[in-house]
Amino acid sequence: MTAEPTSYGAEAIQVLEGLEAVRKRPGMYIGSTGPAGLHHMVYEIVDNSVDEAMAGHASDINVVLLANGGCEVSDNGRGIPVDPSTQDPDKSAAEVVLTVLHAGGKFGGGGYKVSGGLHGVGVSVVNALSSRVEVEIDREGSRHAMAFVDGGQLSEKLHVIGTSPVTADGSPRTGTTVRFWPDPTIFDEISFRATTLLERLQMMAFLNAGLRITFVDERPGATTEAVEYCYEGGIRDFVRHVNASKESLFSDVGYLRQAEEKDGESMEVEVAFQWNTGYHSDGLHSFANGINTIEGGMHEEGFKKALTNTVNRYAREHQLLKEKEDNLQGEDIREGLTAIVSVRLTEPQFEGQTKAKLGNVPMRSLVERATNEKLAEWLEEHPSEAKRVLQKALQAARAREAARNAREATRRKSALDGAGLPGKLADCSSKDPREAELYIVEGNSAGGSAKDARNSETMAILPIRGKILNVERARLERMLANTEIQALISAIGGGVGDEEFAAEKIRYGKVIIMCDADVDGSHIRTLLLTFFFRQMRPLVEQGHVFIAQPPLYSTEVGRNKVYLKDDAAKAAFLAQYPNHKNEFQRLKGLGEMDATELWETTMDPTRRTLLQVSVEQAAIADEVFSILMGDDVESRKTFIQSNAQDVRFLDI
């Protein structure tokens, strides 16, 4: 093949001015143009208000979903500066903040000591990706306003529209209000999901003790009533909330805090912790300047190291560990632990795949020192609680040894079997994880159809029988004795458990759960997701887990069979064919489809719909899995009732 002749000179080099670059490549700034990116727009504005709260200038943030599809975020902070910009005197500082990337008060100059929105792109990116933006600023007794349209084009220059209202203490109000309407030509959909926003807003309220965040949904038919979050206990209340559906070892929530300032940079750490009777050691959740550091980092390293050292030292000093016994390992001590580690620092350095790993080495030292000193004090001051923690850790150590033996037995058995893969796995011929897919299929009947339907080069099929073990209520050694879980571990190939699982060793880039669209299928799907989240969390965090979407209905138009994904698709179909005479057959299971139907509706990469499972807020996911799969029936009932309006289809 020969390339077509093209000229590649200076005229081929384009410079995207201002916000044009954001509209050209929105995913670079907000992650995607799907639901995650849409909600990220709200977070960008809210984060600016939270920064005002962290700086000690705001106590209230209000978020409103407007009836006409927009979103309004207001705070009682200092208000964006309205005087002329020092860089461009023809523009106000507020206009620069709204229209210039990397402009703001977070790059030195004393505006903020610590900040979550460090890139200075937040509100300007929202402006770039909105069809309209309105800003009102209360500052120095006057209310100022300006507006933008069509991705950041100034339509109303900053001007005074009146005086600021008077607050309860008699002083004029200060603060900022931003209203924006997402651009429908940019986003796949522009309808906000109230539950998604509430989860994030609640988390921000937990991380900022005393900050009041209110949420109102004014859209027609809204089912969410006005909600207010305010937690005087801060992250202590966060731990109580996460542990609410679990059985705590003791009622007290431990807390420690330490801060230091050095060379003009400030660092602060606060930790809240409480153990429960659960068997998981993944209950540590960390944050830096309000950002969820799902990949951990230096603050987590410092806490884990100090926790292990301090508890072992206490156990030795109080003869709870005998002289000849080995030290407890970190995972033993962290079994059943729910802990929030929240740090604030002037210049955070984020790294990792999702830019959610803290890289500041001095923070590791601060967290380690603070935990060594203050956790030791807490243990001495709470001897009965400390004894329960040690007893649980010793039980975990014995279970770890039993699990190690079970692992070795599994490996020996696999070695004797030959390739070490489960016998019922119909593997694919490709060994490249980037293209290989594993379909986990409910039932042998559907598994048979899937094997006949698949592309055997890239698609592997693993049928599972019945409902797998609920791992929320079982230790690892019991899981390893379960045949279906053994098959999953062997097929995926990355190992199992908090300390052992290695995502780089997985054999398939996509692990696809393919279950019936009924209650039993939903239950099996939840059991599988619980297993992946608890025992193979990087598989979920790195986006390898997907859910197949088999159709719920089939009908015929003329001689052609038509499949409809869900009730919304059915409604759209009936609107398009109001005189349709044929019956709306409800498909009860994958096993009803032959290989051709299964391929055409659910497995063909050119036509299928896959839902990618993500864990944006691990602490919230932890809570949800505990509620859904744990022992607290009342919490589960309340959760189902409060989320019933979000259920797409319920087959009873």
Which of the residues are catalytic? 442, 516, 518, 520
Measured CA to CA, the distance from residue 297 to residue 356 in angstroms comes to 8
Q: Give the chain's largest Cα–Cα span.
A: 83
Q: Which amino acid is at 561?
A: K
Output phi, psi for 88, to 5 deg: -140, 90
Q: How many CA atoms lie within 13 A of 438 on its CB side?
A: 27
Output phi, psi for 102, to 5 deg: 60, 35
Structural contact between residues 393 and 321, judged by C-beta atoms closer than 8 angstroms:
no
Give the three-class secondary structure for 390. Answer: helix
Q: Which amino acid is at 521?
A: G
Is the C-alpha dihedral spanning 163, 165, 166, 172 positive or negative? negative
Structural contact between residues 159 and 144, judged by C-beta atoms closer than 8 angstroms:
yes
Residues 6 or more apart whose CB falls under 8 angstroms from that of 6 comprise none
Q: Quick one: angle between helices 483-492 and 383-417, nearest 10?
A: 70
Residues 6 or more apart whose CB falls under 8 angstroms from that of 18 comprise 99, 100, 101, 152
Question: What does the chain come to in residues?
Answer: 652
Closest listed residue to residue 454, CA positions, set 605, 319, 345: 605
Structural contact between residues 447 and 439, judged by C-beta atoms closer than 8 angstroms:
no
Give the three-class secondary structure for 513. Answer: strand
Give the three-class secondary structure for 70. Answer: coil
Closest listed residue to residue 283, CA positions, set 18, 590, 626: 626
Ordered alpha helix ranges (H), 458-549 = 476-479, 483-492, 519-535, 537-541
Tokens of 331: 């995972």
Is the C-alpha dihedral spanning 340, 341, 344, 348 positive or negative? negative
Please state, in angstroms and as integers, the Cα–Cα distance from residue 395 to each residue in 279, 317, 407, 626, following that order. 10, 19, 18, 21
Specify burial of residue 445 (Cβ count, 10 A radius: 0-12, 13-18, 19+): middle
Ordered alpha helix ranges (H), 180-320 = 194-207, 235-242, 298-317
Measured CA to CA, the distance from residue 493 to residue 512 in angstroms comes to 15
Closest listed residue to residue 77, CA positions, set 47, 99, 106, 55: 55
DSSP state of 52: H
Measured CA to CA, the distance from residue 187 to residue 184 in angstroms comes to 5
Q: Are strands 585-586 and 553-557 parallel, antiparallel or unpaired?
A: antiparallel
Ordered alpha helix ranges (H), 382-462 = 383-417, 444-453
Give the three-class secondary structure for 158. Answer: strand
Closest listed residue to residue 77, CA positions, set 95, 93, 61: 61
Strand ranges (E), 53-172? 60-65, 71-75, 130-139, 142-149, 153-163
Closest listed residue to residue 614, CA positions, set 543, 526, 536, 562: 543
Measured CA to CA, the distance from residue 618 to residue 40 in angstroms comes to 17
> Which residues share a beta bridge with 560?
557
